[in-house]
Chains A and B, each alone.
Chain A
Amino acid sequence: MATEGRSFETWLLAAKVRPERLSDEQRFILQATFRFLQDSEGDYSSSRIASHFLLHCGLGLEVTQIARLVGIHPRSAFRHRNLSAKHVGQQIHYHFHGRPYGKLLPRHAGSIADFLFRHPQGTRDELLEFIARAWKFRVSKVALWEFLKKYGLDRASLKESQQASDAEEEQRVTAQVLEARTPGALVPVPPEQFFLPTRSTPGRSCCGPKCSPGSTRPAIASATTTGRSNGAS
């Protein structure tokens, strides 16, 4: 709501309307509009009526200022400027009689995920056919794409989650292999992914920043070998 919890002055300042520059006529009209919006608690109809009035009463305010005053997007205010009062009334009527949500609801996501899981190579048309068969309504491809994107069921997201789960599985297997040691037995060889990739350059790169060793090396400590240990040898 554009006027919620605000005084008249803060309402004007929030809309970037400087009170000291307003004429008496503008001030009276804006005060009346402020009271109107406050009384109606900023519902859709009231803001449409107020914006239509301010846009057409010749008050001398900019369209963007009026948009900020009634709390709508400036692009919508420019579009509303060309409408007649009859059209505004019709739009208010349509707003309240229309369906404010899509046909696909969050509770349908499970069935769609199940279908995608069972038919990984299924096409969009097959999915649309499944939706029509399951819930007896049809949706457009755009609506379906938006729904899938929203809940991470589109191909890119599914591929990403598949990669993430594969990586987690590898980590888990690695940890299991390392943990599965019996006393007295040979240390198992860790899998290849356990180690960092071997250096492809012949020596240390002299171009990059110098690595800090972290702490001074104790004089008595022996140098640590960087070679791989092989438990089987």
Chain B
Amino acid sequence: MTSAFGLIVGLERIFHLDQMQDPGFAVLTGNARRCPSRYDVGAWRRHVRWNEVDRFCHRTSPWDLLRQQDVLMSFDEHAIPRWTKKFVIPKGYVTTRNKFMRCEKLYLGYEVNLRRFATIKATPGNVELRDVAGLLTRRVLRSGQPASLHALFDAGAGKSDADVRALMDLAHATENLEITLRACRYPSRMEQWKSLPAEAFTSYEEPGVCVGARPKEIRVAETRTVLKDETPAQAVRTIVCRQVIPGPKKDRWHPLYTSGDAEAGEVVDTFRLRQHHEQGFRVQVHDEGLNATPCGYDKESPDRHHPRFHRGPPQLVGWLACLVYNACAAFLEALSPAWAGKFVSTARRVFFNHQGDLYCTPQALIVYLEEFSEQDLLVDYIDRFNAAQHRVPWLENRQLILSLSPHAARAGP
């Protein structure tokens, strides 16, 4: 409870519990007298078992949103840097720092149309997207049972031609699976793609970066790429996207391998939706403290040069962050279409973190919020919440009542 509600109220680090003196948070997390101790919560988080965490993640995944739907899912990694000098843990590439360093990784599946996280896997830092791409795709197909799945991958899923071939084979073997991944820009391949004739490209014009800016020019071509040790008959369909940069700078090339039959421009537009996934990572890092997940290396390992890896702690806290992200997105969408897509920190600032009074009667725990400007938006939600008659099991099963100040005068639920 503390780990989940801490993310909602914006508890950035577990040791901030020491200074926490909020009676509302204490009641919310199971103790009416005082906030939980960081030692108890931290110890529990560090010792959760991986199989229990896997089961928790599976059972709380939003599979029902994917069932019999056309799913567009992006799979990508988030590297969490580790600064330990004592334990020698595997290194991986951390993109934000642009270097190899000790880290651990979270692999997440994100439904880009619904904007919800769907699945997670925590790994040591030396595991790459290509190692888990097939596993995560099969998991979504098996558990989500979508009508069709279009999986999007960044270049890390196809570092070698064998990885690309494995994904393409999976797509060919599965009837309702389509895969698009960004191709690695190896020099020999780039020469091949750059040598395409100018007439093979179709030019698109897009709005510039701001009003009044020069429009962007995008040129898209379609070709086939023969992978290593393969015949031309096995060549992979490749969409080459060239972004023309005016001036002395070089043009930007974005090649994509795809197993689908959609038009080239459509494939590029679909792949661009993957940006929502990256934005989701940013929201999690800045609003939910994703980089503060407990470490996976075992601090009680007998050999500090080869510590064991426990994926339970980082995966659990990472997945809680995903659940909070999903819950906030659902809450804001239900309030009003204008609030859809707002960040977790916005929801926290506008709706969650407000002063109020608690009244504990023998039958109910009444939460009386002080007046705030957007409280009218919450009236319907609060009426539905109160009508559901939620109870607090650890407070002698009292009914939880949310209440607004009289300013919100409106008749009926």
**Cα separation A135 to B407 with both chains bound (whole Å):** 8
A219 contacts B by Cβ under 8 Å: no
The one of A99, A103, A134 that contacts B406, using a Cβ cutoff of 8 Å:
A134
**Cα separation A136 to B406 with both chains bound (whole Å):** 10
Q: Provided the pairs A105-B386, A157-B362 are in contact, do residues A99 and B404 lie with their beta carbons within 8 angstroms?
A: no
Report A155 CB to chain B, min CB distance, Å.
Answer: 12
B364 contacts A by Cβ under 8 Å: yes
Q: Provided the pairs A106-B403, A107-B379, A107-B402 are in contact, do residues A152 and B368 lie with their beta carbons within 8 angstroms?
A: no
**B-chain residues with CB within 8 Å of residue A75 when the two chains form the complex:** none
The one of A106, A110, A150 that contacts B359, using a Cβ cutoff of 8 Å:
A110
Most chain A beta carbons < 10 A, residue from B363, B367, B409: B363
Report B403 CB to chain A, min CB distance, Å.
Answer: 3
**A-chain residues with CB within 8 Å of residue B369 when the two chains form the complex:** 110
Q: Provided the pairs A99-B412, A135-B409, A136-B409 are in contact, do residues A109 and B357 lie with their beta carbons within 8 angstroms?
A: no
**Would B364 and A110 count as touching, CB distance under 8 A?**
no
A96 contacts B by Cβ under 8 Å: no
**Would B406 and A157 count as touching, CB distance under 8 A?**
no
B4 contacts A by Cβ under 8 Å: no
B79 contacts A by Cβ under 8 Å: no
Per-residue CB proximity of B385-411 to A under 8 Å, as 1/0? 011000000000001011111101101
A113 contacts B by Cβ under 8 Å: yes
**A-chain residues with CB within 8 Å of residue B401 when the two chains form the complex:** 106-107, 109-110, 151
**A-chain residues with CB within 8 Å of residue B357 when the two chains form the complex:** 110, 113-114
B383 contacts A by Cβ under 8 Å: yes
B366 contacts A by Cβ under 8 Å: yes
Report B385 CB to chain A, min CB distance, Å.
Answer: 9
**A-chain residues with CB within 8 Å of residue B361 when the two chains form the complex:** 113, 151-153, 157-158, 161
Select from chain A the residue with minimum beta-carbon distance to B33.
A172
Chain A positions within 8 Å of B, measured between CB atoms, are 99, 101, 103, 105-111, 113-114, 117, 134-137, 150-153, 157-158, 160-161, 164-165, 172
Please classify the interface of chain A as helix (H, G, I), strand (E, B), loop, or mixed, using the class held by over half of its residues. Answer: helix
Report B374 CB to chain A, min CB distance, Å.
Answer: 15
**Would A111 and B362 count as touching, CB distance under 8 A?**
no
Range class of the B interface residue count: 20 to 34
**Would A111 and B412 count as touching, CB distance under 8 A?**
no
**A-chain residues with CB within 8 Å of residue B405 when the two chains form the complex:** 110-111
Most chain A beta carbons < 10 A, residue from B359, B383, B404, B405: B359
Please classify the interface of chain B as helix (H, G, I), strand (E, B), loop, or mixed, using the class held by over half of its residues. Answer: mixed
Question: Top 10 nearest A-B pairs by Cβ distance?
Answer: A110-B403, A110-B368, A152-B361, A152-B363, A106-B386, A134-B406, A113-B359, A152-B362, A151-B364, A157-B362
B196 contacts A by Cβ under 8 Å: no
B292 contacts A by Cβ under 8 Å: no
**Would A107 and B364 count as touching, CB distance under 8 A?**
no
Report 17 cross-chain contacts, Cβ distance below 8 Å, ordered by A residue.
A107-B379, A107-B382, A107-B403, A108-B403, A109-B401, A110-B366, A110-B367, A110-B369, A111-B403, A113-B357, A113-B361, A117-B359, A151-B364, A151-B399, A152-B362, A152-B363, A161-B362
**Would A151 and B363 count as touching, CB distance under 8 A?**
yes
Select from chain B the residue with minimum beta-carbon distance to A134.
B406
**Would A105 and B367 count as touching, CB distance under 8 A?**
no
B413 contacts A by Cβ under 8 Å: yes
Report A157 CB to chain B, min CB distance, Å.
Answer: 5
**B-chain residues with CB within 8 Å of residue A150 when the two chains form the complex:** 363
**Cα separation A113 to B401 with both chains bound (whole Å):** 11
Per-residue CB proximity of B349-383 to A under 8 Å, as 1/0? 00000000101111110111100000000010011
Most chain B beta carbons < 10 A, residue from A110, A152, A161, A164: A110
**Would B366 and A113 count as touching, CB distance under 8 A?**
yes
Report A192 CB to chain B, min CB distance, Å.
Answer: 24
Select from chain B the residue with minimum beta-carbon distance to A165.
B360
Report A21 CB to chain B, min CB distance, Å.
Answer: 43
The one of B366, B368, B379, B412 that contacts A101, using a Cβ cutoff of 8 Å:
B412
- Other A-B contacts than A101-B413, A151-B363, A158-B361, 6 sampled, CB-CB below 8 A, are A110-B403, A111-B368, A151-B399, A152-B361, A157-B363, A172-B33
Select from chain A the residue with minimum beta-carbon distance to B379.
A107
Select from chain A the residue with minimum beta-carbon distance to B363.
A152
**Cα separation A141 to B323 with both chains bound (whole Å):** 45
**A-chain residues with CB within 8 Å of residue B366 when the two chains form the complex:** 109-110, 113, 151
**Cα separation A158 to B361 with both chains bound (whole Å):** 7
**Cα separation A108 to B406 with both chains bound (whole Å):** 7
